A = this chain, B = another copy of it.
C-alpha cells in the first residue's frame, strides 16, 4: 500500500484533519475523492449484516486509498488522529496534460491495494493464528518501524487486529502472550513493541491445551 506518492505530487489537494476514531467516509457513500495519509493511521473496514466486521486494511503515511470509483465499498476511520490529503477524482481524471499522470496514479493505487489484499487472502486461507499474528507484527515493523529503531508503536486495538486477521480477539491476546513467553515479542505499557522473527523454533499451537492427559 506504499502508494504512488510521487505521482500525486503536482496534483491539487485539500488537507483534512480527522480526530481519533473519526469517520472519513462510510460504505455506500458516493466516491468522489482519493485520500493520502500524511500522518496517523487509517482503518478501512466493511461491516457484515450479521454484525461482524472485517478490517480490510490499515493505512499509514504515504499510503493512498480510494475504495470505490463511484460508490464506496468500505468505510474509512482514523485509528489515531490523522492528517490526510484529499484529491478529487474529477481533478485527477479531467486535467488535460495531467491526464495520464492522474489516471496512472489512481491505477497504481488500486492495483497496489489489490496486490496487498491478495496476500491477505492467502494468509486467511492457510495460515494459523500464530503465523497470522507473526506476519502482522513483521509487516507493521517493516512498514512503520523506521521511525523508531527499537520499538514500534501499535496504534490499533487487538480487536482491530483480530478483525484484520480473521481470528478472535482472545486468540490475538493468547498469541501475543505466547510470543512474549518465547522471547520473540516484548511489549511496553505504552503500546510499543519489539518483535523479531524467530526462525520458527518452538512453534506450538497457541491454544495447545492438552486435553486432560
Contact = CB atoms under 8 A, between A and B. Distances in A.
Number of copies of this protein chain within its complex: 2
A48 interface: yes
Contacts of A124: 121, 124-125, 166
A: contact size bracket:
20 to 34
A103 B113 contact: no
B46 A115 contact: no
Interface in A174-192: none
A11 interface: no
Contacts of A108: 69
A118 B116 CA distance: 11
A100 B93 contact: yes
13 contacts: A46-B122, A54-B118, A54-B122, A54-B126, A73-B115, A110-B110, A110-B111, A113-B114, A114-B114, A117-B118, A121-B121, A124-B125, A125-B166
